[in-house]
Amino acid sequence: MSILTESGRAAIAASIKEQSLHLAWGGGDTNWESSHQVEKVFVEGEIALDHHTIKDVRVFTGQTVYQPSIDYIVDSSSGVIKRTENSSIRANSAVTVEYSESTPPELITSEKLLNELGRRTADEVLFCTGDENGELLTPTGRFRSSNVPTNNLYLKFTFDFTDAANQVIRELGVMVGTKVKKNYLEDRDILNQKTWKIREFC
């Protein structure tokens, strides 16, 4: 089995650090995280919803709220709800289903955001290493900057209040190698899309 060693990862990080880095943001799909309520009938013990992937499923009839795993099982990736063998939901009965449409998992082959609004040039790109007392605070923990290459990069981007004003941001992506015309790029300003390294949903 092959592995990529820490020094190999540090070499990749060093290569990325030398390139033009931008944080792209976009509006994504307006259906992501949207809520739905539908009346459905269990047919042969199943309900197929109109959306997938789904989450936060609630099944009820009037004031009776059924229990997940006890009365029904949800396959969130296919959007199918199945009655359990000893369910208190009557066979072939109508129920109300409330659920949210999840943000779908990103494909490894993706090269761009679904609905990009703009990009901002990186203010800072630093090698860093994990340190609980580090000065760099991130959602995954604290880091300290390093003068020698490491397998971690700390990227800092500062967006202006006027960037994509009045837009809903649902997706982010770090882009490598974008040709620069100015610090903030709208979609029409991007000369080449180049490589997309990381994506995150908001």
Q: Which of these three, 101, 130, 145, is where a domain ends? A: 101
* Structure confidence at residue 196 (pLDDT): 47
Task: Based on the fold, state whether residues 78 and 139 are members of the same structural domain.
Answer: no
Question: According to the model, what pLDDT value does residue 184 have?
Answer: 64
The answer to whether residue 177 is domain-embedded is: yes
User: Both 187 and 115 in a single domain?
Assistant: yes
Q: Is residue 199 part of a domain?
A: no
Q: Is 25 exposed, middle or buried (0-12, 13-18, 19+ CB in 10 A)?
A: buried
Read off the tokens for 187. 């979609």
168 and 115 fall within a common domain: yes
Domain range holding 59? 34-101
Instruction: From first to last of the 202 residues of the chain, give the pLDDT tens digit.
Output: 678 788 899 999 999 999 989 999 999 999 888 999 999 999 999 999 998 889 999 999 999 999 999 999 999 999 999 999 999 999 999 999 999 999 888 888 888 899 999 889 999 999 999 999 999 999 999 999 999 999 999 999 998 888 888 889 999 999 988 776 666 656 665 555 554 445 555 4
**Is 1 a domain residue?**
no
Domain boundary among 69, 101, 133: 101
154 and 87 within one domain: no
Residue at a domain's end among 44, 77, 101: 101
Q: What is the pLDDT of residue 187?
A: 62
Does any domain span residue 65? yes
Query: Do 123 and 95 share a structural domain?
Result: no
Q: How many domains does the chain have?
A: 2
Q: 100: which strand partners?
A: 35, 55
Within this chain, do residues 25 and 38 fall inside the same structural domain, yes or no?
A: no
Please report, as a single letter, which amino acid is at residue 6. E
Phi, psi dihedral angles at 13 (to 5 degrees): -60, -40
Instruction: Please work out, in degrees rounded to the nearest 5, the angle formed at the alpha carbon of residue 81 by the alpha carbons of 77 and 86.
Output: 135
Does residue 49 fall inside a structural domain?
Answer: yes
The residues near 169 (Cβ < 8 Å, ≥ 6 apart) are 25, 26, 27, 117, 202
Same domain for 112 and 170? yes
What is the Cα–Cα distance from 21 to 25, expressed in whole angstroms?
13
User: Cβ(95)–Cβ(62) under 8 Å?
Assistant: no
Residues counted in the chain: 202
